[in-house]
A and B are shown apart, each in its own frame.
Chain A
Amino acid sequence: MKERYSNPYVIGVILGLILLFSFYTMGRGLGSSASFARIATAGVNLVAPEHAKANAYFSTYLKGGKSPLMAWLVFLTLGAALGGLFSAFISNRIKGEVARGPSIGVSVRLWLALGGGILSGFAARLARGCTSGQALTGAAELAFGSWVFMLCIFAGAYATTYFFRKEWL
């Protein structure tokens, strides 16, 4: 099964221009991980509002009594979902599946996806952003910590890639 995707350099240039557009209009870059923290906060706030307000971290998203979902990044992520859907639709790439290498089962892959998600969600909060909000955005501004963060992502991944080879190869 061969898939033809766009040339990565061309995509890189376009993504750079989108990021520049975001800086020019809003004075800030892209991001997405915080929107999941916000959605999770909204969930906790719905179930246990007292608990959410008492928590030092959740409460930063609940300031001013506004819904944690009325945030710039949440709308950006919604837009990204629609944009991705549109792109997948026009090239017939919408297909219900569990993406994985040929030598791994569905349930193991799903557990690993869950574990990877938990680690990533935790790490993105710790580092104040993810690959887009911290690494991409910050590196474009030449922020020192963002460059270090980006190098650490690659370091962490390359260091452990051997243990997950059965998942992908």
Chain B
Amino acid sequence: MGPLYKFGWFDFAYSLQLAGLIGFMFGFVLERAGFGNPRKLTAVFYLKDFAVLKVIFTAIVVCILGLLYFSVFGWIDLGRVYLLPTFIWPQIVGGLVLGIGFVMGGYCPTTSVVATVSGKLDGLIYIIGMMIGSVFFAEVFPMLEGFYTSGDMGAIRLTNVFNINSGIIAFLVCLVAVGAYWFVEKVEQKFGDKDTLPKGSPKVKRIAAGLLILLGLILAVVNPDRTIAKPAVSEIKPEKQVEAIQKPETKSEKPDSSGFKIVDDKGC
């Protein structure tokens, strides 16, 4: 049962090797998508090419479905997945400023790495800028600390905010995704360069969209939140001994009806 690391399947040293592997795949697919090229990235803001939005949204939808199905099948204990806490005010301001930094610099942090290794000097300069920005943040942190911790809502999810189960949320996200794909493709047709836009058969797209909505609909009916708590008790048992030895980092665990809890460490 996952997450494997939290159940003591491997140690910290191995987790670093795994990080290298996951990072390799991450960087590889970003470059495949053309995200080492700032003109490709910023094209989304000029309504010419929505690859950025398609990639991010598709990855999110796939991962939401994957996590919830894994949880329903008892393959992952979502209670041990680190859930990012919500500090709403710094997240709003941070998001707005990062958006400006994105269109000004042409990259976001990870894509600048991919750009730099493919030889773009502006990518390297952007990275240097990020380090300056981080140091500046640390230097003014004493002044900002109040704001940094403001709007603390805890580790809440959309399920808590809208008070509906995560299956229905997943279904809604699938619907929004399909609607967004349809809409941005219309916009691309109008403003984009037809030669460089990806071609795909409408039939395949319709089938994929249907599959996405079907997978979301099944989750909405199944209600994954209900199935999280019950099998956990019996299925965790074999690993309980490992935990006792390993002394798992469950100090900040907060009970949460929907399954996710903070387990340890800082996110990004």
Contact = CB atoms under 8 A, between A and B. Distances in A.
Task: Give the interface residue-count category, chain B.
Answer: 35 or more
B118 A121 contact: no
Contact of A5 (B20, B32, B91): B32
A28 B253 CA distance: 15
Contacts of B91: 127-128, 134, 145-146, 148-149, 152
A34 B266 CA distance: 10
A156 B115 CA distance: 22
A15 B110 CA distance: 13
Interface in B142-172: 142, 144-145, 148, 153, 155-161, 166, 169
Given A8-B51, A11-B55, A168-B106, A27 B263 contact: yes
B182 interface: no
Contacts of A116: 100-107, 126, 129
Contacts of A150: 56, 95
Which secondary structure characterizes the binding site on chain B?
A: helix
Contacts of A117: 101, 105, 107, 112, 125-130, 132-133
A120 B157 contact: no
B213 interface: no
Which secondary structure characterizes the binding site on chain A?
A: helix
Contacts of B260: 141-142
A137 B45 contact: no
B103 A23 contact: no
Given A27-B81, A80-B24, A72 B16 contact: yes
A18 B58 CA distance: 12
B242 interface: no
Contacts of B92: 148-149, 152
A21 B58 CA distance: 16
A26 B181 CA distance: 31
B55 to A, nearest CB: 4
B129 A129 contact: no
Contacts of B23: 75-83
Nearest to A13: B62
B130 A24 contact: no
A73 B268 contact: yes
Interface in A109-135: 109-110, 112-135
Contacts of B95: 123, 127, 135, 148-153, 155-156
Given A80-B113, A83-B27, A118 B15 contact: no
Contacts of B40: 3, 5
A132 B144 CA distance: 23
Interface of A: 2-3, 5-9, 11-34, 36-37, 39-41, 43-44, 55-58, 60, 70, 72-73, 75-88, 93-101, 109-110, 112-161, 164-165, 167-169
25 contacts: A12-B58, A20-B66, A24-B70, A26-B5, A26-B15, A55-B139, A57-B138, A80-B110, A80-B114, A83-B29, A84-B31, A93-B36, A98-B121, A118-B132, A123-B95, A128-B268, A129-B84, A130-B98, A139-B64, A143-B155, A146-B86, A152-B99, A158-B99, A159-B99, A164-B104
